[in-house]
């Protein structure tokens, strides 16, 4: 009786965690996601600004890349831009923001659309050129758009930059 | 004779420097510029990126402000964005770059046009709101466009931002 009451007080995920090991086949079909491979790049706005671009509504890429984008690099990534070799731990961020029309003929930054992240770990992400990829929605630090789809969503295009270690950008003067 | 030869070997500015003290009224009309008040902001590309805007060819301000502009702040200036008070030594840079058309519908950064600088020194620059202003041409660290014209060229417009300590920009999230 005591045991029954205990289970009844659990709800949602906690209840699943208690019951799942007893359900045949559960682990294969409903296993919780693995620990995040590419963490949110805390503090990236204090990292060095590498360069900026703007994808206008006239671009075929507008739906997936429209707006201002600013690229930021942490210390190991900056060393990589200089040397051509990116050490494990290098992180490059692509911060994408909506474009708003300001006073006559000016364009200004609007809301953040996504934060794209590349994290270097040559062994862990060997299947995608040694880089892990993730995209965080808006200004969320937890809502992930990519997850296990990194190869199709990110790497297949970065693969064209193999001579540059799969990094598209250059550090602007 | 020896003295005459010496003077004849000097030319241009050096000759003026030798002769000027002897010419009545020279100091008022042709005095050499004072030592630069606002130094070039060495290393500003490693400072925090505050925000970005783009002034298009459709803007009436295109001639004086056209292109991408990125604002960068040193440590004291960052503290000023947060507190609303800018301490002496705060420096804000407005890095202006040409816009180039990239692949269909994309805009990318071109050559640097100017580097504008605001340096906080409340006493030294009291006549212009406590800020010294300078503009460096292109990527030159020495070619100055403003000099003694700071009030007309820079401050008269910044004066509209008096409630914000004459700083136009805000630190983007």
pLDDT mean across residues, chain A: 85
Cβ contact B52–A60 (<8 Å): no
Classified as helix, coil or strand, B45 is helix
Chain B closest CA to A122's CA: distance in Å? 27
Q: What is the mean pLDDT of residues A147-153?
A: 94
Residue B132's pLDDT band, with cuts at 50, 70 and 90, is very high
Residue B53 with chain A: CB contacts under 8 Å: 102, 106-109
Q: Is the pLDDT of residue A88 over 60?
A: yes
Q: Is the pLDDT of residue A120 over 50?
A: yes
Q: Which of A59, A72, A139 sits opposite B106 (nearest CB)?
A: A59
pLDDT value of position B128: 96
Q: Is the pLDDT of residue B26 over 50?
A: no
Say yes or no: ipTM exceeds 0.90: no
Cβ contact A49–B53 (<8 Å): no
**Residue A6 vs residue B67, higher pLDDT:** B67
Measured torsion, CA atoms of residues A84, A87, A90, A94, in degrees rounded to the nearest 10: 30
Residue B107 and residue A64 in contact, taking contact as beta carbons nearer than 8 Å: no
Per-residue pLDDT of A35-61, as tens digits, reads 458 999 999 999 999 999 999 999 999
The pair phi, psi for residue A107, each rounded to 5°, is -120, 135
Chain B closest CA to A76's CA: distance in Å? 14
pLDDT value of position A34: 57
Scan residues 39-58 of A and list those with Cβ closer than 8 Å to B: 45-46, 48-49, 51-58
Q: What is the mean pLDDT of residues A130-158?
A: 96
Per-residue pLDDT of B96-111, as tens digits, reads 999 999 989 999 999 9
Cβ contact A49–B49 (<8 Å): yes
pLDDT value of position B36: 53
User: Looking at the DSSP assignment, which residues form a beta bridge with residue A92?
Assistant: A73, A118
pTM beyond 0.90: no
- A78, A82, A106, A170: which to substitute to probe chain B, counting the most B Cβ within 10 Å? A106
pLDDT mean across residues, chain B: 85
DSSP B63-107: HHH-EEEEEEE-HHHHHHHHHS-PPTT-EEEEEEEEEEE-STTEE
Residue B40 and residue B142 in contact, taking contact as beta carbons nearer than 8 Å: yes
pLDDT value of position B152: 95
Is B156 at the interface with chain A, CB within 8 A? Answer: no
User: Looking at the DSSP assignment, which residues form a beta bridge with residue A100?
Assistant: A108
Chain A closest CA to B57's CA: distance in Å? 7
- d(Cα B56, Cα A107) in Å, to the nearest integer? 8
């Amino acid at each position: 009786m005591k045991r029954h009451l205990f289970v009844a007080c659990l709800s949602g995920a906690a209840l699943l965690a208690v019951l799942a090991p007893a359900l045949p086949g559960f682990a294969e079909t409903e296993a919780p996601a693995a620990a995040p491979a590419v963490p949110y790049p805390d503090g990236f706005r204090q990292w060095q600004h590498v360069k900026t671009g703007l994808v206008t509504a006239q671009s075929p890429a507008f739906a997936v890349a429209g707006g201002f984008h600013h690229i930021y690099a942490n210390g190991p990534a900056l060393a990589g831009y200089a040397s051509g070799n990116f050490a494990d731990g290098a992180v490059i961020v692509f911060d994408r923001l909506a474009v708003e029309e300001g006073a006559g003929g000016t364009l200004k930054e609007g809301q953040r659309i996504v934060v794209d992240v590349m994290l270097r770990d040559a062994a862990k992400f060997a299947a995608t050129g040694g880089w892990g990829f993730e995209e965080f929605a808006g200004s969320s630090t937890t809502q992930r758009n990519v997850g296990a789809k990194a190869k199709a969503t990110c790497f297949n295009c970065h693969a064209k930059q193999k001579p540059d270690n799969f990094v598209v950008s250059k550090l602007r003067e």
